[in-house]
Every structure is written in C-alpha cells, then in structure tokens.
Amino acid sequence: MMPKVIIHNSVSLDGSLTDFEPNMELHYQIAGNYKPDAHLIGSNTVKVGTELYGEGVPPEEAKDFEKPKRAESLPVWVIPDTEGALKGLLHTCRRFEFCKDVVVLVSEQTPKEYIEHLKERNYGYHVVGKKHVDLEKALELLSAKYGVKKVLADTGRVLGNLLLNQGLASEVSLLIHPVIVGSKSYSIFSNVSEDISLKLDKAEILDKGYVWLVYTVRK
C-alpha cells in the first residue's frame, strides 16, 4: 500500500523557495501537526540547510556510529543520495532530537565507498533504482519495511516536482510568507511538466501576515 505523500514548503508570495528568511519555527510547527511517519528530504536540501543554519559541521563521535534510541512515535528521515553527497554530514541529521533515525536511498551506481560509509555507521540504506532513485519503489518499500503510512516531503524544488510529475503526491501544503522576492525568485513549481488540478482544503490566516494553504491533488 502506498503511503500518503504531503509536500510541505515555505515560500514567498511570488512562490520562491530562496532569497528570503523563512520562519522555520512556524514551518516546523505546521510540519509537526501532520505527525508523519517519515520525512522525505532531498540531499541538496540537507546540504544547504547545514550550511545556512549550522555553525560548521561538528566532527563525528563514537555515538554517531550507533542508531539513536528515541521514541517510536518520531518520524524517520528518508534521504535520496545516490552520489554520496552527504558523506560526512549525515550525523548532523542523526543528532537532531526530533529524528528517529536516518534511512538513505541509493542506486546501483552509488559509489561503493559511500555504501561502506553507511554500513560502518549503521545507517539503514536501500538500493532502489539503477541510476536514480525510483521514488515509487522507495515509497512502497517504506510502507512494507517501516510501516510508513504518511510521508511529509519537506524538501526543495527538485524532489517535490518529481513527486508531482510522477503522480505520487497527495497533498500540497504551503506556508506563504509576506515577502516578494522578485527577479531572484527560485520558483517552487517551475519543473512541473504539466497542469495539475488541485482542490483547496484550507486557507488559514496566521499572525504577522503569514497564510497557510493546503490543497488536495486531484488524481
């Protein structure tokens, strides 16, 4: 059974994902309300987030090689990373207190040294695809192996647009920020390949000019 996939993003009024200061507290407050079984996060989103909001990458410690013991109710973080872009960075995700643990999706062409890197640190990893991650197979695997029923795709444009293009997203959640980026705009949906019909389920005006919109994707 395929899990429900919700795309959740913070954007400017003109639909940009970048070049403004997102309200991360409000963003994650809304994300937490969904109570997902898994967060699906692009490797580039993790990398950029580490650079923007981190204070440098801390060195690995012995505990980073062990699976954390946290509440079963917490979501697992699922990260497609076929090229090993997060080698040396994954422990920053594993340390996050609201993450049960990290699962990495790789392909048949993922460098062997990265696979060894994951094995040494006891990360769950799964080969789903020849060159790129097959998202449909990945979602089926998450359901069968981890009992995932609800996935929150808290990620950037590339992965979110792939989910929409492949008909895998069920819902779109947008936290609209009261700012216009203009010519620098990095449009959230610019790689969507065809029209997608939506049904508005929620339009909630929040404090300080923020608006939360929720749409169901019409299949």
- Delineate the domains of the chain, giving CATH numbers in brackets: 1-37+155-219 (3.40.430.10), 40-148 (3.40.50)
pLDDT in tens, 30-42: 999 999 999 999 9
- For the chain, the C-alpha Rg in angstroms (whole number) is 17
| 144-194 pLDDT per residue, tens | 999 999 999 988 899 999 999 999 999 999 999 999 999 999 999 999 999
Which pLDDT does position 75 carry in this prediction?
96
Report the half-sphere exposure of 56 (CA within 13 A, side-chain side). 3
Q: What is the pLDDT of residues 89-118, one digit of tens each?
A: 999 999 999 999 999 999 999 999 999 999
The rounded percent of the chain whose pLDDT value lies above 90 is: 91
pLDDT at 198: 98
Say if CB 211 and CB 203 are below 8 A apart. yes
85 φ/ψ sector (left φ>0, alpha ψ -120 to 50, else beta): alpha
Here the contacts of 26-32 (C-beta below 8 Å, separation 24 or greater) are 26/175, 26/206, 26/210, 27/175, 30/173, 30/175, 30/212, 31/152, 31/154, 32/98
Q: Is the pLDDT of residue 55 over 80?
A: no
H-helix or E-strand spanning residue 50: helix 43-53
Which three-class secondary structure state does DSSP give residue 60? coil
At residue 202, φ and ψ (nearest 5 deg) are: -150, 140
Model's pTM, two decimal places?
0.93
